[in-house]
Structure 1
């Protein structure tokens, strides 16, 4: 009981330190188009100049402009600009478990002097969830969400412009990889690197060129997203280093401290050893500012 109380106190303390902000969404970039979602065009329409683009998850609504909710966790006694991570939720949106996981990640990173911006892609679009097969449509749509948050942090002078990293879980991990593709390089600001947790590494992503280094963290028992696809992505010859860390015996739910359960036929269970190693690896990479390449089993 004492340990449970301490955990809840930690989560409450982290949540209480978060500042809620509104971020103007930006999508008017050359790599995007004005065409809306249709059944015949489910993925290309992800590169959209519209905040809402007519998907079933958006109840077929199209809306040109919009804003996103975000929660900023700043390191204690932070003065001036600091390194930052933008954190992206999975296909289920910013649910209670996603908020608790985000607060946990923020607490660990804040203790190292790193700020965290938790970005909510769904609430202001009135989207409940986008779960299903690895979805490049929402990965592409949410990439501009991530860049809107990046612009916000730099414009507000909260983050060092060359030390903003991107991190996402599940569909947020897919979004993280999409955001690093050279197609997204027409944005004014760029990420210093990224951490994709249990992403969907579709064949089209495997062949995409990336502009900065990344680490993919995944369980070898992941039955939601195929680990072999991510292995192939990491093995591709690239101009930037991409590493895959694969945890033996871990599944899609390994980073989230929640009771074991099944969701849409996927097996989800917490693996504290893998989660601890992942966070230690991320912190070490932020300190060294160095990414490496290859596939490693742990």
Structure 2
């Protein structure tokens, strides 16, 4: 009987950890850098800078909606008293799938153990978007930057996070979002991210050549990534910047190195292979950077 009670208590504890509090975050997009123009096929990327929660993209079935809210999961460290450093975690182009929920939970667990909080943000469910994979990557990276800043405002309003210690981390399209969120074009927001951790992002030419960044950036990527071109991220990193930008390139890893699923070719034709050693190293690197508040430059192979 004692054994049964102990096991049952463990199961309850595990269930609690698996189901963090879900909250609704009011979306904010009324900033000078944004426009009221709707998406059009003639201007598919700049319309990402939108004052509309839904802006008429094909992924939104052409719907336009001024206001909205986002789903999010809050992972606060155990025994947290008062505001703590927080990381806003952004999913990839497939949305908050089961696999990416599991990834964000692993990220949150690693952060919580160090006394840091995590907010896993769902950009797509309340927009009824299935995925944004492919050519729309930069558009949605721009759209989702305002999602991330809305979550930032929420954390500060609720006194959960330290205002100068909120970071953004994202995978794939979420990584692109992290890069966009650090550009000076987004500096009209009331708060600014302390740094960005971009995992397998799309380092588009506009982000390579013209973007000026407001804070440090760490890019993590596999050299075998066939979804987002590693060379583009190398070029972004090599540009002379006023802030440190570093790329850590994992040898033999592909686009799926943080997704704990059997190795396969995904629906979009990309190789996806879990690389737990690279994932663990990435989290250790991120935690060390948050603790030391020190960031390097250049490309490093691991």
The normalised TM-score by structure 2 is 0.94
Residue aligned with 1:97, SS: helix
**1:133, distance to aligned residue in structure 2 (A):** 3.7
CA gap 1:123/1:162 in 2 versus in 1, 3 angstroms = same
Counterparts of 1:166 and 1:235 in 2: how far apart (Å)?
A: 22
Structure 2 unaligned spans of 5+: 1-10
Counterparts of 2:120 and 2:273 in 1: how far apart (Å)?
A: 23
**From 231, 240, 244, the counterpart of 2:243:** 240
Q: How does 1:83-232 map to 2 (within 5 A)?
A: 83-133=85-135, 135-207=137-209, 208-232=211-235
**1:291, distance to aligned residue in structure 2 (A):** 1.1
For the 8 Å contact 1:252–1:267, the answer to whether it is kept is: yes
**From 286, 294, 298, the counterpart of 1:294:** 298
Counterparts of 1:197 and 1:66 in 2: how far apart (Å)?
A: 27
Structure 1 unaligned spans of 5+: 1-7
For the 8 Å contact 1:134–1:225, the answer to whether it is kept is: no
Counterparts of 2:287 and 2:101 in 1: how far apart (Å)?
A: 20
**1:265, distance to aligned residue in structure 2 (A):** 1.1
Counterparts of 2:149 and 2:273 in 1: how far apart (Å)?
A: 31
The aligned counterpart of 1:256 is: 259
> Deviation string for 1:88-111 (max 9, x for gaps)?
000000000011111111111100
The normalised TM-score by structure 1 is 0.95
**1:261, distance to aligned residue in structure 2 (A):** 1.3
Q: Number of residue pairs matched? A: 290
Bigger radius of gyration among the two: 2
RMSD (Å) for aligned C-alpha atoms: 1.3
Counterparts of 1:20 and 1:109 in 2: how far apart (Å)?
A: 18
CA gap 1:10/1:243 in 2 versus in 1, 3 angstroms = farther
